[in-house]
Structure 1
Amino acid sequence: MPFVLLVFAIAFEVTATLSMRASEGFTKLWPSLLVVAGYLISFVFMAKALTSLNVGPVYAIWSALGTIGAFVGGVLLFDEPVRPFAIVGAVIIVVGVVVMNIGGGVHQG
């Protein structure tokens, strides 16, 4: 169950981040409201997941998948360019999360 909560936290965080881009500097009401609601809901799900999972690896997973989700969303929704170094960076992020989980891991306690 905590991993399901983490997935929801990531989804709402990505939604909030992409909504921030769509808000055009908080000049558009509905995307701006989605930013606030998305981050709030994301933090609630994250807090619930952290009641039984280790904070370091979980935060690494949350931030890494959120970063990659925002990158992919920016490409798909806003026609942002895909540059080779950005792809290399995404791979490095994923490798870092894998290494963190091998070293400390998440656990349900």
Structure 2
Amino acid sequence: MAWIALIVAGVFEVVWATAMKQSEGFTRLWPTVVTLVAVTISFGLLLWSMRTLPLGTAYAVWTGIGAVGAFLAGIALFGEAASPARIIAALLILAGLVIMKSATA
């Protein structure tokens, strides 16, 4: 159950990062509200998952999901570059997450 909570926390990290970008420096109300709600959920689920999972694993997976998810959101929503080097970097992050998961009991 901790792993599911951690994955959901990572998804909410992507939500709040994307909403924060859309808030334009917290000058737009609804993206700001979404940011605050999503960051609260994300941190809460991360905290809950850390009751069971090791700190290093939980934090690495949470930030990795956020990093790759924000990268994909940037491409899909904001027209950011999807260069081969950036794609390879995202794949390496994913590979690290898989190794981190498999190395954790």
When normalised by structure 2's length, the TM-score is: 0.89
- Counterpart position of 2:15: 15
Deviation, structure 1 residue 51: 0.6
- Counterpart position of 1:97: 97
Distance in 2, Cα, partners of 1:88 & 1:68: 11
Deviation, structure 1 residue 64: 0.7
Letter in 1 for 2:52: S
Whether the 8 Å contact between 2:23 and 2:29 is mirrored in structure 1 is yes
- Counterpart position of 2:40: 40
Gaps of 5+ in 1: none
SS at match of 1:7: helix
Moved over 6 A (4+): none
SS at match of 1:82: coil
Give the RMSD, CA atoms, in angstroms. Answer: 1.5
Gaps of 5+ in 2: none
SS at match of 1:42: helix
Q: Does 1:25 align with 2:20?
A: no
The percentage of counterpart residues that share the same residue type is 36
Letter in 2 for 1:44: G
